[in-house]
Chains A and B, each alone.
Chain A
Amino acid sequence: MARFLKKIMWLTLALIASAYLLDLAFTAVFQRGRTVKAQWLHGMHDQRYDVVILGASRAWWNIDGTSIDTVCGVRSLNLANNHGTILEALHSLELFLAQGNTTGLALYQMDLNRMDRDRGMLSKSAYDHLPFLDDSLTYAHLSAHSSEWAAYRYVPFYRYAKFNHRWGLEELLVSGLGLNRSVFDSTGSHFRDRAFSGPETYRPENRHYNLNPDVLLLRDLCRRKGIRLKLFMAPYLSLRLAPGVLPQVKETLHANGFEFHDMSNRLPNKRYFYDNVHLNGEGGRRFTRMLIDEVVCP
């Protein structure tokens, strides 16, 4: 038995040592990469922007940052992430500011399902920050949600083994060789041009929408830092809601001190969409023009 336990002990020690070395190497390489926005954001220091766009896929894939820059003569940055929740937008903005960057205006694309759902939630985009858990702000933000983040930070290589489909060998080569595989332009925007698929009508629940307290945290951060915060709702192809629902949402947001622009019914044409909630390139450019005229630089 002693012989077996000795073997197990040596194996465990060897495993821990190897995992520690691998973790060091992977972290060093991933922190230099530029595939996901988290890598981009963590490497961004002392930059001055005029507009920062926050939200989920309907902010990332629906807006043309270059047009905003050209037409308004500003410097814009799109920090939105697919599936991103309000708390993740808050973390992005906090991190952005903590690294010495500045902005005068923050735009948050508000989805109906974010109004009172996903409170205190993280999406899978949170795992884009795995190589950056040594950053105290990031770790504090993520570890507040679940103890699993402590394991990711302190158990060597656990984070890369568990998420090797995302932070594995392939990504190691991409980041290590400096191959840029990011799906966003220099402003952080990206259009998805693909054939339309799925149902045309979007049917959220017809009910009273309360306010997600997470958005108040975003409002308070902007107030503290002197940033003007504007909320907007990007177009849906065909939004099916009972007549009183959207006015109630607007009223709730206005009552809590938010400037809210409802643009949900602005492009009711299938040629501008690739599904019922996401615009294609043509729709994105049209919508950006509306956003510029009414929200960014009216």
Chain B
Amino acid sequence: MIFTSLPFAAFLVVVFTLHWLPLSRSKRHQNAILLAGSYFFYGWWDPRFLLLLLVSSLVDFLVGLRLHAAQDPRVRNRWLIASVVTNLSLLGFFKYFNFFLESLRLALGWNELPASLHIILPIGISFYTLQTLSYTIDIHQRRMAPTTNLLHFLTFVSFFPQLLAGPIERARSLLPQLAAPRVFDHDKAVEGCRQMLYGIFKKVVVADRMAPYVDAIFAQQDAFGGGINVLGLVLFSIQIYCDFSGYSDMAIGMAKLFRVDLMTNFDRPYFSTSMRELWTRWHISLSTWFRDYVYIPLGGNRGTRAQWARNLMLTFTLSGLWHGASFNFIFWGALHGAFYIVERLTKYEQLKWPTLLKWSGIMVPYLLARVFFRAEDMHHAWEYLSNMFSSSGAGLARLLSAANTTPVSFLATMVLAALLFGIDRLGMLPRWTSLFHGNALLRRSCYAMLLLMIALFGAFTDTRAFIYFHF
């Protein structure tokens, strides 16, 4: 039941209606409906994983209470360790067990593993694990008091708009909203609908239309020439941005229907002119999580330059590992750590270069690193990178045939992507935004155009799960 499917639309209408019925206007009823809806939504994917979600939630709820009650720092540390170990053990087993086994095999030089387990990754586990960890860490750090209401806590962990792929909310922000009585807010609901509409456009009109080209190029990169391999990389970068930011827009918009504000997750990252800026605008909820709970506790930018570089590399490498249990993700994370360090040491941000040149200066390494994110493994990634410099190989005609599409469809996809970035760019200019907000006719025409484009160009037969569901 992905956000762009008809069953989900029906589900949302039911939950929205029940949530705002006059009978259920108490926060207890509202949260009970949100919780029931969220567990139903999660169980739809695989009911077995509900137990995992429940166990993780209950452990952190109890640990939160114990942490708060304990005064002895050693006791408090033990409770925190209990929470961290429980959460990371679940995540480690379901996400990294086979990776660790495979790494062990490589390290010991075995031809095959004596045993392996067929483990299915529970969807959303990487996201809700970080969310619940932030709760216990914040209580340990005395940044917040725990909630004593189990219903509120279970709803905080499982809130369905952001359960599967974020934004990774902090308890300090989301719990008080769930604990307070919620009254319907017309403007917020309308704003939520707008954001959802834009998210759907990004996902089905741009990301899912890009997917067949990206899949075709990455599946047989050696058959294509260097130009097509470069194109594959550019298209993948557009695809993943539209896929993930589209999901985030839908999640944030949907939460507004229930009068809940989630944090911004993307802020037009591809218009950044430095790596530092890019990481403050891409997957903001994750990068701030790693900043607050890994980088700063490691020492942050305090200490020597070497210590700062070590902290940064560790943070980025862990962030890479969080994305996926394979060496290419770890390498991708480490590469970004290295880019960040080089940028700081060269004082790149202070260079007085033309904006386009500065933008290119970060987009080229960014794109090259994306190969490691998309490739199946390190070998595939290196092959892809070497093929990018190949002068022979098939061209666009072969790509269109492999993607089972036509030149007109390809052109339409490129125009739609350009349109999206045009809209993003205009949204950064205050003159345009004020014009848009001040003119109802213009605004409604734009919504009508968006709806029409979704109907005419949306990829619906090959609806894909959001890329970040795999993490």
Q: Residues on A close to B: CB < 8 A?
A: 1, 3-4, 7, 15, 18-19, 22, 157, 160-165, 168-170
Contact = CB atoms under 8 A, between A and B. Distances in A.
Interface of B: 20, 184, 186, 189-190, 405-406, 408-409, 412, 451-452, 454-461
A168 B409 CA distance: 10
Nearest to B184: A1
A165 B461 contact: yes
A170 B460 contact: no
Given A164-B455, A165-B461, A170-B406, 4 more contacts: A160-B455, A161-B456, A162-B461, A170-B409
A107 B190 CA distance: 60
A164 B460 CA distance: 8
Given A4-B184, A7-B190, A161 B455 contact: yes
Interface centre among A22, A164, A165 (most CB of B within 10 A): A165
B405 A168 contact: no
23 contacts: A1-B20, A1-B184, A1-B186, A4-B184, A4-B189, A4-B190, A7-B190, A19-B455, A22-B455, A162-B460, A162-B461, A163-B460, A163-B461, A164-B455, A164-B456, A164-B457, A164-B458, A165-B409, A168-B456, A169-B412, A170-B408, A170-B409, A170-B412
A165 B186 contact: no
Contacts of A170: 406, 408-409, 412
A4 B256 CA distance: 13
Nearest to A19: B455
- Nearest 3 A-B pairs (CB), nearest first? A161-B455, A162-B460, A1-B184
A170 B412 CA distance: 10
B461 A15 contact: no
Contacts of A157: 455
Q: Majority SS of interface residues in chain A?
A: helix
Contacts, number: 42
Contacts of B457: 164, 168-169
Contacts of A164: 455-458, 460
B365 to A, nearest CB: 35
Contacts of A169: 412, 456-457
Contacts of B451: 15
A22 B448 CA distance: 14
A179 B374 CA distance: 40
Nearest to B460: A162
A108 to B, nearest CB: 27
Given A1-B20, A170-B409, A161 B460 contact: yes
Interface centre among A161, A163, A164 (most CB of B within 10 A): A164
B469 to A, nearest CB: 22
A1 B20 CA distance: 9
Contact of A161 (B186, B189, B412, B458): B458
Contacts of A4: 184, 186, 189-190
A232 to B, nearest CB: 29
Contacts of B452: 18
Contacts of B461: 162-163, 165
Contacts of A22: 455
A15 B193 CA distance: 15
Contacts of B412: 169-170
Interface centre among B20, B459, B460 (most CB of A within 10 A): B460
B207 to A, nearest CB: 15
A151 B70 CA distance: 60
B141 to A, nearest CB: 40
B223 to A, nearest CB: 11
B94 to A, nearest CB: 35
A19 B457 CA distance: 15
B455 A165 contact: no
Contacts of A18: 452
A18 B190 CA distance: 21
Contacts of A165: 405, 409, 459, 461
Contacts of A19: 455
Contacts of A7: 190
A244 B7 CA distance: 49
Contacts of A168: 456-457
Contacts of A163: 460-461
A4 B454 CA distance: 23
Nearest to A166: B461
A219 B84 CA distance: 69
A161 B409 CA distance: 15
A168 B455 CA distance: 9
A210 B73 CA distance: 75
Interface centre among B190, B454, B456, B461 (most CB of A within 10 A): B456
Contacts of B406: 170
Interface centre among A1, A7, A18, A160 (most CB of B within 10 A): A1
Contacts of B186: 1, 3-4
A37 B189 CA distance: 47
Contacts of B405: 165
A190 B141 CA distance: 73
A252 to B, nearest CB: 36
Interface centre among B184, B412, B455 (most CB of A within 10 A): B455
A175 B20 CA distance: 48
A3 B184 CA distance: 11
Contacts of A3: 186
Nearest to A22: B455
A163 B459 CA distance: 8
Contacts of B455: 19, 22, 157, 160-161, 164
Contacts of B458: 161, 164
A157 B460 CA distance: 13
A252 B457 CA distance: 48
A162 B186 CA distance: 31
Nearest to B188: A4
Contacts of B20: 1
Contacts of B456: 161, 164, 168-169
A41 to B, nearest CB: 23
Contacts of A161: 454-456, 458, 460
A22 B460 CA distance: 18
A255 B461 CA distance: 42
Contacts of A15: 451
Nearest to A124: B461
Nearest to A155: B6
A18 B412 CA distance: 22
A3 B189 CA distance: 11
Nearest to A2: B186
A3 B406 CA distance: 45
Nearest to A174: B408
Contacts of B459: 165
Nearest to A127: B461
